[in-house]
């Protein structure tokens, strides 16, 4: 896909998804209420995702990135007890449930449907692709798994999952992309083990060549932030006590 095609596809995707999020759940009031616990903050330059080898490899020219974190802090007693117990024992069920909520609940459903409808890209042979709601809500997101043909699991631990999205360029032997996305979902417990923090991080950047413009048009950025907030809130909700 050329630069214009990538831009048009991403613009259409972000616009449709952003508008649907606001209107599809009953307007601004409902959106605010359902996502009120997800708090935005900029992604600092010293964050491990920024300094890590994936970003260095995919953005070798250190082009400008659109970056953000949505974080939520939840009391342990409000979360599913089985997930908390597994987390304390070094298990990965909590991070998996968080990821299941981000990609398997209402906020991602529209984007997933658009990708399935408009993308002709097929997963390479032998690569697991989870696309349906049932598949996503039951997956463990092991290394190499594709989510809805768009997000690939690059790294997984009991506390973190790093994914890569964006539009692949089959003509670039280095694997660099005009529009690249690095995402990380992360969970951690405070020192007295009374609260668990959930973080959803995103970085958008142009990995090919020297690029001075922002990776997304200015009018798209607010929609992305709104969308990321909804995804993060869906992830946390999926971990709460039933």
Q: What is the DSSP letter of 189?
A: E
Distance CA 54, CA 184 (A): 11
Residue 102's SS3 state is helix
Q: Write the CA distances from 199 to 42, 71, 190, 232, 236, integer angstroms.
A: 12, 4, 14, 8, 9
Q: What is the CB-side half-sphere exposure of residue 179 using CA atoms within 13 A?
A: 20
Query: What does the pLDDT read at residue 154?
Result: 97
Mean pLDDT per 10-residue interval, the chain, length 242 residues: 43 46 48 72 94 96 92 96 98 98 90 73 82 96 93 97 84 79 97 96 90 75 85 94 88
How buried is 22 (Cβ within 10 angstroms: 0-12 exposed, 13-18 middle, 19+ buried)?
A: middle
Domain ranges in the chain are 3-237
Query: What does the pLDDT read at residue 33?
Result: 56
What separation, in Å, do the N-terminal and C-terminal C-alpha atoms of the chain show? 44
Q: What is the CB-side half-sphere exposure of residue 236 using CA atoms within 13 A?
A: 27
**What pTM did the predictor assign?**
0.86
Query: What does the pLDDT read at residue 119?
Result: 66
């Amino acid at each position: 896909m050329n630069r214009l095609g990538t831009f048009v596809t991403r613009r259409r995707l972000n616009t449709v998804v952003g508008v649907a999020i606001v209107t599809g759940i009953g307007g601004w009031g409902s959106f605010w209420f359902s996502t009120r616990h997800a708090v935005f903050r900029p992604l600092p330059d010293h964050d491990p995702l920024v300094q890590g080898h994936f970003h260095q490899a995919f953005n070798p020219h250190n082009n400008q990135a659109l970056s953000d974190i949505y974080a939520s802090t939840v009391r342990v007693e409000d979360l599913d007890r089985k997930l908390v117990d597994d987390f304390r024992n070094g298990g990965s069920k909590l991070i998996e449930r968080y990821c299941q909520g981000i990609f398997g609940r209402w906020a991602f459903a529209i984007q997933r449907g658009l990708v399935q409808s408009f993308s002709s890209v097929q997963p390479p042979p032998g690569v697991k692709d989870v696309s349906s709601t049932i598949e996503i809500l039951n997956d463990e997101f092991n290394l190499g798994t594709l989510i809805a043909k768009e997000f690939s699991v690059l790294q997984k631990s009991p506390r973190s999952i790093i994914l890569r999205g964006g539009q692949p360029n089959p003509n670039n032997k280095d694997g660099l992309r005009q529009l690249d996305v690095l995402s990380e979902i992360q969970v951690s417990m405070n020192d007295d083990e009374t609260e668990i923090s959930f973080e959803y991080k995103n970085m958008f950047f142009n990995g090919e060549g020297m690029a001075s413009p922002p990776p997304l048009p200015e009018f798209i950025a607010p929609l992305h932030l709104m969308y990321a907030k909804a995804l993060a809130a869906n992830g946390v909700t999926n971990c709460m006590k039933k």
